[in-house]
């Protein structure tokens, strides 16, 4: 996600502000645009296919996409997957088809709601609310998992650095850890940064760690 997209998402935490539409039926796209504006949303653009929607997103930050399924060049499901993976933009699928093959694929492609045409203002409002809440929850859960993974990696890096000092200086584990912590405090940097320098055999850092009693 770009910084512009991240800022837009944070600003629109309560509801998606900027939306994009993709439908190869111009009349339907125009109707959706009018309905969304009446509901208080900004419509960035109406694309004739999924690829065009992705291209639009690259030019302007978007909070949510509303896509038809069957479109030329790139269908809505494929576009939804790309938008979610690359930009964390959730999608609502709006389609005249309720085939179970489509429905079974939506959950794996960044699709958080499914509406059958014709779409009513109330139905669209409800779908946007549900999809947005689900998307925010999934982003939050993914963020927590990412934090846990990073914490584990940091611990492993610190352990590697500690054992490097144990082996090179002939000191115990607690002493090695204490020396890195003191250098980190003195330089006002995170312990993980000192650990990485130790692993990389950074000369000035190794001198500081070695000289710590």
Give pLDDT, residue 109: 72
What kind of architecture, by CATH, is found in domain 147-211? Orthogonal Bundle (1.10)
CATH 3.40.50.2300, the chain: domain bounds:
3-119
CA 163 – CA 167 distance, rounded (Å): 6
Question: Rounded to 5 degrees, what angle do the CA atoms 164, 167, 170 make?
Answer: 125
Q: Taking the mean position of all CA atoms in its chain, how far away is CA 176?
A: 38
Whether the full predicted model's pTM is greater than 0.85, yes or no, is no
pLDDT-derived band at 44 (thresholds 50, 70, 90) equals very high
Q: Where exactly does CATH 1.10.10.10 map onto the chain?
A: 147-211
Average pLDDT, integer, range 160-177 = 89
**Per-residue model confidence as pLDDT tens digits over 119-160:** 999 999 999 999 999 888 888 877 776 777 778 888 889 889
Write the CB contacts of 29 (distance below 8 Å, at least 6 apart in sequence).
21, 22, 23, 46, 48
State pLDDT tens for residues 90-120: 999 998 876 555 555 555 578 999 898 889 9
Confidence label for 4 from pLDDT (cuts 50, 70 and 90): very low
Q: What would the CATH number be for the domain defined by 3-119?
A: 3.40.50.2300
């Amino acid at each position: 996600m770009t910084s512009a997209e991240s800022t837009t998402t944070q600003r629109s935490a309560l509801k998606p502000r900027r939306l994009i539409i993709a439908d190869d039926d111009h009349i339907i796209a125009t109707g959706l645009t009018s309905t969304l504006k009446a509901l208080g949303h900004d419509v960035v653009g109406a694309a004739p296919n999924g690829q065009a929607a992705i291209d639009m997103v690259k030019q302007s930050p978007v909070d949510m996409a509303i896509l038809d399924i069957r479109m030329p060049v790139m269908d809505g499901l494929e576009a939804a997957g790309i938008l979610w993976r690359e930009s964390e933009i959730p999608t609502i699928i709006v389609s005249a088809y309720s085939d179970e093959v489509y429905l079974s694929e939506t959950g794996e492609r960044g699709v958080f709601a499914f509406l059958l045409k014709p779409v009513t203002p109330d139905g669209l409002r409800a779908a946007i609310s549900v999809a947005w809440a689900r998307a925010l929850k999934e982003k939050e859960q993914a963020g927590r998992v990412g934090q846990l993974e990073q914490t584990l990696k940091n611990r492993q890096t610190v352990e590697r650095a500690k054992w490097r000092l144990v082996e090179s200086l002939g000191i115990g584990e607690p002493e090695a850890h204490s020396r890195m912590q003191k250098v980190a405090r003195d330089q006002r940097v995170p312990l993980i940064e000192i650990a990485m320098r130790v692993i990389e055999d950074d000369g000035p850092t190794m001198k500081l760690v070695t000289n710590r009693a």
